[in-house]
Amino acid sequence: MTGEEVEEYAKNLAHMARDLLAQDSVQKTLDRIVEHAVSLVDGCEAAGIMAVQENRVQTLATTSDVVRASDRMQEEVGEGPCFDAARVPHEVYRIADMTETVTRWPRYAAEARQLGIGSMMGFLLYTEDDNLGALDIYSSRPNAFTLASENIGWMLASHAAVAFSSARTHAQLHAAMESRHNIGEAIGIVMERYKLDEDQAFAVLRKSSQDKNVKLREIVRTITETGEIPGAR
Where is the domain boundary, 168, 195, 212? 168
pLDDT at residue 202 is higher than 90: no
Picking from 22, 80, 148, the residue whose alpha carbon sits closest to that of residue 33 is 22
pLDDT in tens, 23-72: 888 888 889 999 999 999 999 999 999 888 777 888 989 999 999 999 99
What does the pLDDT read at residue 115? 94
Same-domain status, 136 and 200:
no
- Confidence at residue 90, expressed as pLDDT on a 0 to 100 scale: 63
Whether the Cβ atoms of residue 135 and residue 159 lie closer than 8 Å to each other: no
Range of the domain at 194: 173-226
Q: Which amino acid is at 11?
A: K
Domain with 212 in it: what CATH number?
1.10.10.10
Count of CB atoms situated within 10 Å of the CB of 117: 25
Taking residues 140-167, report their average pLDDT: 85
pLDDT band at 109 (very low <50, low <70, confident <90, very high): very high
Sign of the alpha-carbon torsion through 176, 179, 185, 190: negative
Residues 152-165 have pLDDT tens digits of: 888 888 878 777 77
Confidence label for 197 from pLDDT (cuts 50, 70 and 90): confident
When pLDDT is cut at 50, 70 and 90, the band that residue 151 belongs to is confident
Asked if 52 and 86 count as a contact pair (C-beta separation under 8 A), the reply is: yes
pTM assigned to the model: 0.69
Same domain (yes/no): 142, 199: no
Instruction: Please indicate, yes or no, whether residues 152 and 66 belong to a single structural domain of this protein.
Output: yes
Per-residue pLDDT at 128 exceeds 60:
no
Q: How confident is the model at residue 131 (pLDDT cuts 50, 70, 90)?
A: low
Domains in the chain: how many in total?
2
Q: Looking at the structure, do residues 92 and 122 belong to the same domain, yes or no?
A: yes
